Amino acid sequence: MAATGNADTNVGHGALIEAVDRALTTHGRAVLAGPAGSGKTEVARAVAATAARRRETVLWLAPEAADREIPEASAAALLASVPRTALDRLAGPQRTAIALLRREADAPRAGRDHVALRLAVVEVLRTLAAPGPVLLVLDNAQWLDAESTELLRFVLRLTPPRVRVLAAECVQGGAPVAEPLCGPGTTVVRVPALGADEVAELLLRHGLPARLAGRIHQASGGNPRLALALGHSLAEAAAGQGGGAHHADTLPVTGQAREVARRLLAAAPARARPTLLLAALAARPTTALLRRAGRPDAEAELAEAERAALVTVGEDGAVAFTAGALPTALAADAGWPERAAGHAALAAAVDDPVQAVRHRALAVDTPDPHLAAEITRAADACRRRGQRALAAELGLLAAERTPAGLPQEELARLVGAAEDAGWAGRADLARRATRAVLARDASPAQRVRSRLAVIDAAGQALADLDETIAHAVADAAGDPSLRAAVQLRIAWKHNIGDGDPVRARDAAAEAGALAKAGGDQVAEAMALTVRARMGRILGDPDAEDILAEALALPAPEVPLGMRNAPQYLAVRHALFDDRLADARRQLLVLLPAVQRTGSAEDVFEVLRSLTEAELRRGHCARGAAHARRALELTIEAGLSPGPAWYVAATAEAAAGSFARAAAYARRGIRASEEEGDQVFLSRGLYALGTVELATGEAAKAVATLSRVAALEEAQQVVDPSILRWHGELAEALVAADAPCEAVGLLDRVTPVARSLGRPTVLAALDRARGLCRSAQGEPEPAVALLEATAERFGALGLPLEQGRTLLALARVERRRRRRAPARAALLAAAGLFEAAGAGPWLDLARETAPETCGPHPGVAALTEAEARLALLVGGGASNQEAAAKLFLSVKTVEARLTRIYQKLDVRSRAQLATALRGQ
């Protein structure tokens, strides 16, 4: 019998399992094909488990590689698993043939009766299928021996339709060998690679850090076994170093990960191996480049590798490995002479002078002052191009090729490499360069600059950098400019890692004073920017004046990160104030500028803000496109994933699917918790709570949004325009039958929003207040307030908020049993959502909710939470089932049911169902 399917390893394969089961039900035969480690066995086990739950007989045959060389080994193993009762009805010669195959009798002198054996196996399967369907699973079908394959091919032609066959085999490309075994026209289902989201889910289920998902997806190509092996290798390497794994760390393709990669590479013919190695060593391999580098048959060899699903070759000849671990494994398994020869060949073949220098440097391992100087010039060229990650790699190479007699040149190159890595967000390169600096006789300034690069490369993971900062503070003593630079990083750390804007503002003020004393206007402008940002959070009325002061200072176009520049903060303030057209216009000016700098984090920041601007303007398709680019960039550059998953969640909630939005939000929450990022932890929770509210999970929304409230309170956030959770939490409280708590929250935040002049925040609070009034038995004021609020959102140019307000109005009107106004509000909301491309919200508006406003007069008196519970219980749900569905305790369900019975004057569940049906 088959093992039960493992849900942990079937991540992303739900639809695939259904497709295989459907093919078996329809056609009786299916082949499941995919490369090693793709999850075929787990999918087959899940299909077998489904069949077993239907009381089908499941036969499981899983030969191993050695079995392929043993005649009839697989057939014998299959028949050994068959119950003895299935053999009782066999005729004498057939029973003898089975006994001979199972080595239960000596072979006769006249030889074996192969016809009797074939007919015996047919009869066994017919006997097993007599009481019910049989599923025969052939896992690792590629290892069936030839004799067993021929036997099964004959048998399966004669078995009844109730005998179904699933053959799973490891195949990289081309036609599966099991296809003819199952007969012509057999459905072949290929196991697809996991997406980045599914890799993230796989890591989470195995207790591995979610923030590694992007890099592991790239390195594994979506192969589940390789992804898990890489994740475990990285986690073990980090544990061995006494620290947590960083999302930008180089992935160690060692141990099990290398074995999986080797197994995948073994599918390519040996003659293609040198070409694949050259492709692995090249930065941008193409067929033309590989031909020039001495592989005249590159196209044919790569075609074989492509059939083995190891590479893809574009129409322009560009070569890409399907998994990033494959070139790493190829290079690691090659010896130094082979790698050096490959780099030398590529140096002579590439067109780009920078790449030529890089390959010449990698082709030798001895110091050379002229080569080191040439590499340094190439790094300078990369810096001008905005290729800061490549500049960092070249800087490290230049330092390695610098002779021992030039220590200052070596140090300068190492510090430059660290700073380039910090700018590019490459924490692995920044730490490597900084370790080298600290191991040498570096000056305090060089040590400070290197340590600042490590901080800059850390992204949102600043919580564990106290020791690095402490050393930087000590080394910067006596130099105002260096002290200012360190204090700026301390301010960022207080905000992101500690969630303490007051300390961040104070550190920024100290940084500004030091920068002014040192005549560093760039650092002064950045310090003022941090003060303005913290001031906005804290509700400081002088925040805009401080920002204006920063903008007035002369500064380069992009000082140390656009995210820290005053012109970018001005855009963020425009977003907070819903001056969306102005914000979008400025962002489109900034985007090319940040793309030129080579800072992936800056590009992400601009894309994030563009996403927010477009979504709030009701241009959901544009917003979703920016969010996709932001997520792709995060994965490609190895940035902290928490912010990208938050952005993806907001885009999905507006333009994709609430289910995917919730999944992104949960991953973002997990990643931000792992990195100690208080800022985006709040945002991830906010995104999740909003989705839970929209999908009717009121109690969950209250719990999630209450966590946001606690975090924002701990961070002393005053301005409600930055993260607009107040209205959402109030609406969730109303939906969870706690309108008094909602009113208390609204009464506390409304004066703050009014004093700060936040009209769009006030409109959202009024939407929640309208729902409160309805829940408290004031339907007419509620309707009037919601109608006025919808008009305000329309005038403010916020169509999604206007549509949400109309949905709220429809719910209130429906509770009043005013069907025509409710229908009109729903139609108006649907029109807004359709024009905006807000698919999930359009689906909500189009839903025809069950009528809770039938002829019974008491139904209209039920609160929204009571109505949901009444519908569940009236539909037959037990108290326990209703409690689980509504995320409540059974005691709360019982108390609410008592109130419902009193309002409707009913005494039983049957009477409740009758009242809800209006009979």
Closest CA to 322 of 401, 217, 249, 184: 217
Do residues 645 and 661 lie in contact, with contact meaning Cβ atoms separated by under 8 Å? no
CA distance 290 to 301: 11
Give the full edge-to-edge strand order of the sheet including 57-61.
57-61, 134-139, 163-170, 29-34, 187-190
The label of the residue with tokens 């896992």 reads 139
> Binning pLDDT at 50, 70 and 90, where does residue 637 land?
confident
If you count DSSP H runs as helices and E runs as strands, how many of each does the chain have, helices first? Answer: 46, 7
* 432: phi then psi, degrees, rounded to nearest 5: -65, -45
pLDDT of residue 423: 87
- Over residues 334-340, the mean pLDDT reads 93
pLDDT of residue 425: 84
Helix, strand or coil for residue 163? strand
State yes or no: pLDDT of 791 exceeds 90.
Answer: yes
Do residues 512 and 528 lie in contact, with contact meaning Cβ atoms separated by under 8 Å? yes
pLDDT of residue 516: 92
pLDDT of residue 6: 46
Least confident of 30-44, 106-120, 654-668: 106-120
pLDDT of residue 903: 78
- Over residues 88-111, the mean pLDDT reads 76
Least confident of 77-86, 437-446, 512-521, 833-842: 77-86
Bigger pLDDT: 410 vs 247:
410
578 alpha-carbon distance from chain centroid: 29
pLDDT of residue 7: 42
189: enclosing H helix or E strand: strand 187-190
Do residues 191 and 41 lie in contact, with contact meaning Cβ atoms separated by under 8 Å? no
- Over residues 456-462, the mean pLDDT reads 85
State yes or no: pLDDT of 863 exceeds 90.
Answer: no
CA distance 323 to 410: 35
Bigger pLDDT: 593 vs 780:
780
* 29: phi then psi, degrees, rounded to nearest 5: -140, 145
State yes or no: pLDDT of 858 exceeds 70.
Answer: no
CA distance 505 to 512: 10
181 alpha-carbon distance from chain centroid: 39
State yes or no: pLDDT of 558 exceeds 90.
Answer: no
CA distance 159 to 72: 20
For 601-682, strand residue ranges (E) read none
pLDDT of residue 605: 93
Written as six digits, the tokens of 627 are 């969010």
Burial class (CB in 10 A: 0-12, 13-18, 19+), 94: buried
CA distance 131 to 475: 82
Helix, strand or coil for residue 675? helix
Which residues, in sequence order, are CB contacts of 291 under 8 Å at separation 6+?
A: 298, 299
> Binning pLDDT at 50, 70 and 90, where does residue 355 land?
very high
Pairing between strand 187-190 and 319-321?
unpaired
- Over residues 47-54, the mean pLDDT reads 89
> Binning pLDDT at 50, 70 and 90, where does residue 176 land?
low
CA distance 536 to 552: 19
For 464-588, strand residue ranges (E) read none
pLDDT of residue 291: 96
Q: DSSP letter string over 308-350?
A: TTSEEE-TT-BEEESSTHHHHHHHHHS-HHHHHHHHHHHHHH-
Q: What is the pLDDT of residues 659-693, one digit of tens each?
A: 999 989 998 998 899 888 999 999 999 999 999 99
Do residues 498 and 676 lie in contact, with contact meaning Cβ atoms separated by under 8 Å? no
Q: What is the pLDDT of residues 523-537, one digit of tens each?
A: 899 999 999 999 999
pLDDT of residue 855: 45
Amino acid at 371: L
Could you give the angle at which helices 698-714 and 864-874 cross, rounded to 10 degrees? Answer: 140
CA distance 531 to 518: 19
CA distance 625 to 633: 12
Least confident of 135-139, 301-305, 634-638, 746-750: 634-638
Closest CA to 668 of 195, 200, 194, 198: 200
CA distance 880 to 142: 49
State yes or no: pLDDT of 1 exceeds 50.
Answer: no
pLDDT of residue 470: 95
CA distance 288 to 732: 61
Q: What is the pLDDT of residues 883-916, one digit of tens each?
A: 777 767 777 778 888 888 877 778 777 778 777 7
CA distance 136 to 151: 14
State yes or no: pLDDT of 848 exceeds 80.
Answer: no
pLDDT of residue 745: 97
Mean residue pLDDT across the chain: 87
State yes or no: pLDDT of 753 exceeds 60.
Answer: yes
Long-range contacts of 194-198 (CB under 8 A, 24+ apart): 194/11, 194/12, 194/222, 194/223, 194/224, 194/227, 195/12, 195/222, 196/631, 196/635, 197/660, 197/663, 197/664, 197/667, 198/11, 198/12, 198/222
State yes or no: pLDDT of 81 exceeds 90.
Answer: no
CA distance 296 to 316: 17
Least confident of 414-423, 628-637, 738-747, 872-881: 872-881
CA pseudo-torsion sign 764, 766, 770, 775? positive
- How many other CB atoms are there within 10 angstroms of residue 474's CB atom? 12
Helix, strand or coil for residue 56? coil
CA distance 799 to 648: 20
Do residues 777 and 743 lie in contact, with contact meaning Cβ atoms separated by under 8 Å? no
The single-letter DSSP state of residue 440 is S
pLDDT of residue 883: 76
- Over residues 313-338, the mean pLDDT reads 93
Which residues, in sequence order, are CB contacts of 11 under 8 Å at separation 6+?
A: 194, 198, 201, 202, 205, 224
CA distance 490 to 469: 7
**Highest mean pLDDT: which of 143-152, 721-730, 808-817, 844-853?**
721-730
Amino acid at 537: I
Torsion over CA of 577, 579, 582 and 583, rounded to 10 degrees?
A: 50
> Binning pLDDT at 50, 70 and 90, where does residue 919 land?
very low
Q: What is the pLDDT of residues 196-250, one digit of tens each?
A: 778 878 887 887 776 777 778 888 998 988 998 888 887 776 555 545 555 555 6
Percent of the chain with pLDDT over 90: 51
